Structure 1
Amino acid sequence: MSGARRVLREHALGVVFGVLFVLALVGQGLAGHADFNQQQVTDGLLPVSLGRYLTSADFAVDVAENWQSEYLQFSLYILATVWLLQKGSPESKPLDRPGTESDKDQLVGAFARDDSPAWARTTGWRLHLLSNSLGLVMGGIFALSWLAQSIAGVAAFNERQLSHRQPPVSWAAYLTEPDFWNRTLQNWQSELLAVFSMVILSVYLRQRGSPESKPVGASHTSTGIEG
Structure 2
Amino acid sequence: MTARLFLRDNGLGLAFGTAFVLALIGQAFAGHADFNNQLVADDLQPISLGDYMASSDFAVDVMENWQSEYLQFFLYVFLTVWLVQRGSPESKSLDRIGVESDEDQQVGPHARPDSPRWAAAGGIRLKVYASSLGQVMGAIFVLSWLAQSVTGVSAYNEEQLRQLQAPTSWREYIVSADFWDRTLQNWQSEFIAIASMAILSIYLRQRGSPESKPVGAPHHSTGVEG
- TM-score, normalised to structure 2, is 0.99
- Distance in 2, matches of 1:22 and 1:209, equals 27
CA distance in 1, matches of 2:97, 2:170: 41
For residue 60 of structure 1, report the CA deviation from its aligned partner: 0.3
> Structure 1: where are the runs of 5+ without partners?
none
Match of residue 212 from structure 2: 213
Q: Distance in 2 between matches of 1:178 and 1:167?
A: 16
**Would you say 1:104 and 2:103 are equivalent positions?**
yes
Deviations along 1:129-170, one digit per CA (max 9) or x if unpaired, are: 110000000000000000000000000000111111111111
Which residue is 2:78 aligned to?
A: 79
Inter-partner Cα distance in structure 1 for 2:161 and 2:35: 17
Q: Tell me the residue number matched to 1:49.
A: 48
Match of 1:181 in 2: 180
State the SS of the aligned residue for 1:207: coil
Aligned letter for 1:99?
G
Structure 1 residue aligned with 2:152: 153
CA distance, structure 2, for counterparts of residue 39 and residue 206 of structure 1: 45
| Residues 70-108 of structure 1, C-alpha deviations (whole Å, 9 max, x = no match) | 000000000000000100000001000000000111110
Report matched runs for 1:9-88 at 5 Å. 9-88=8-87
Q: Could you tell me how far apart the structure 2 residues matched to 1:74 and 1:190 are?
A: 13
Unaligned ranges ≥5, structure 2 = none
* Deviation at residue 33 of structure 1 after TM alignment: 0.4
Instruction: Note the alpha carbon deviations across 1:156-199, whole angstroms, 9 max, x for none.
Output: 00011111111111100101110000000000000101001000
SS of equivalent to 2:95: coil
Query: Which AA in structure 2 matches 1:139?
Result: G
Moved over 6 A (4+): none
| Identity over aligned pairs, percent | 65
Equivalent position amino acid for 1:186 in 2: Q
Distance 2:50 2:2 in 1: 39
CA distance in 1, matches of 2:131, 2:173: 33
Aligned to 1:166: 165
Aligned to 2:121: 122
The corresponding residue for 1:140 is 139
Structure 2 counterpart SS, 1:96: helix
Read off the aligned partner of 1:84 and give its amino acid letter: L
Structure 1: distance between partners of 2:54 and 2:45: 17
Shift of the alpha carbon at 1:209? 0.3
For 2:43 and 2:191, the matched residues in 1 are separated by 39
CA distance in 2: counterparts of 1:70 and 1:78, whole angstroms: 12
Report the counterpart of residue 194 of structure 1 in structure 2.
193
Aligned to 2:203: 204
Q: Distance in 2 between matches of 1:213 and 1:177?
A: 41
| Inter-partner Cα distance in structure 2 for 1:107 and 1:210 | 26
Provide, for residues 39-75 of structure 1, a one-character-per-residue CA deviation record: whole Å limited to 9, x for no partner: 1111111100001000000000000000000000000
Task: Please give the root-mean-square deviation of Cα atoms over the aligned residues, in Å.
Answer: 0.7
Output the CA distance in 2 between the equivalents of 1:126 and 1:115: 17
Q: CA deviation at 1:4?
A: 1.2
Question: Whole-Å Cα distance in 1 between the matches of residues 114 and 55 of structure 2?
Answer: 47
Q: Secondary structure at the match of 1:15?
A: helix
Q: Distance in 2 between matches of 1:6 and 1:77?
A: 32
